[in-house]
Amino acid sequence: MQTILEVCCQKEYADLPPTQIVPLLLDKGIWHGSESTYYRMLRHYNMLSHRGHSAKPVKRNPPRLKASKPNEVWCWDVSLLKTKVLGQFFYLHLFLDLYSRKIVLAEVLHSESADNASMLAKQAVAREKALNAQIPRVLHSDNGGPMRSATLQGTLQNLGITRSFNRPHTSNDNAFAESIFKTLKYCPKYPVSGFNTIEEAQSWVLQFTRWYNNEHLHSGLNFVTPNQRHKGKDKEQLRQRKMVIELAKSEHPERWSGDTRNCDPIGDVYINKPSEEGTEQLKSAA
């Protein structure tokens, strides 16, 4: 049986399954055993999937981020906006605060590049500084070229911001950015036929940003607006709602058969929240 292992590890067979190795050997007039024998041997020695040049898969730990207040963690991404010209798109760059879901910056440009990413990161930080707010400790994104670029890395280092990335092919690691793009493109007023000019796209995105930050009752925030959450006004807003409900219940208790509406603030926000046992190992932006 050692012969079977030696054959399977030869260069010409190392990347092939037994279903191909056995016929190739038969064509040379060689018989060492059936396919099932080959499979049994390789499985026993843990060589069924990885031998020769085949590499074992690398286990990547998910990014674990926690935001306990505004401007601790930002997420950002780029999405294509359709134009009236077939095959032509504009590039929506969007920076989002993880804790409050506030759109910190949304800009439409003609292209996606490392220089644009660096410029917009500085612009987003400058806007928050102008509001006497902190800059984020962590900027999270997917693994796109501009996100991984040395240009952006240098800019963020100068700003004192750490980068965080999705695992490869795992879009859920940046689900908050993906979610806001869906909200934007499924908005009833979104021009599904495309934009005529970049100025038109920029104007529409600006209107959407104002609506989203100031009027949109976000389900993930227990139906307060991102700006209310960002400015710390969500607790008072939810407290007032609870008072209204409690008053109504005291006047007509027969109308309630169970618990009243949940009016609690949502608390901390996580990207890939760990189990209770691993909470102390969480990579926090605080």
Confidence of residue 277 (pLDDT cuts 50, 70, 90): very low
- In angstroms, the CA 32 to CA 22 distance is 8
85 pLDDT more than 60: yes
Residue ranges covered by each domain of the chain = 2-44, 65-217
Note the Cα 101 to chain centre separation in Å.
13
Which residues does residue 165 pair with via DSSP β-bridges, in sequence order?
Answer: 141
Identity of the amino acid at 277: E
Homologous superfamily assigned to 65-217 = Ribonuclease H-like superfamily/Ribonuclease H (3.30.420.10)
Identity of the amino acid at 3: T
Contact (Cβ atoms closer than 8 angstroms) between residue 143 and residue 68: no
Query: What's the whole-number mean pLDDT along residues 200-214?
Result: 98
The predicted model scores a pTM of 0.76
Confidence of residue 286 (pLDDT cuts 50, 70, 90): very low
Query: What's the whole-number mean pLDDT along residues 118-135?
Result: 92
- Kindly report the average pLDDT of the chain as a whole number: 90
Query: What's the whole-number mean pLDDT along residues 171-189?
Result: 92
Taking only the tens place, the pLDDT of each residue in 224-273 is 999 999 999 999 999 999 999 999 989 988 888 888 889 999 999 999 98
**Extended strands (E) in 45-201:** 65-67, 73-82, 89-97, 103-109, 138-141, 162-165
Which residues does residue 223 pair with via DSSP β-bridges, in sequence order?
Answer: none
Contacts of 202-208 spanning 24+ positions with Cβ under 8 A: 202/107, 202/108, 205/81, 205/92, 205/106, 205/107, 205/108, 206/106, 208/106, 208/184
- In angstroms, the CA 190 to CA 211 distance is 13
Lowest mean pLDDT among 60-69, 99-108, 232-241: 60-69
Contact (Cβ atoms closer than 8 angstroms) between residue 176 and residue 271: yes
Pairing of strands 138-141, 73-82: parallel
- In angstroms, the CA 269 to CA 138 distance is 14
- In angstroms, the CA 171 to CA 186 distance is 19
First to last CA, the chain: 58
Query: What's the whole-number mean pLDDT along residues 134-152?
Result: 93
140 pLDDT more than 50: yes
Taking only the tens place, the pLDDT of each residue in 10-64 is 888 888 888 999 989 988 889 999 999 989 888 888 887 766 555 555 667 889 9
Backbone angles phi, psi at 165, to 5 degrees: -130, 155
Contact (Cβ atoms closer than 8 angstroms) between residue 149 and residue 116: no
Contact (Cβ atoms closer than 8 angstroms) between residue 285 and residue 270: no
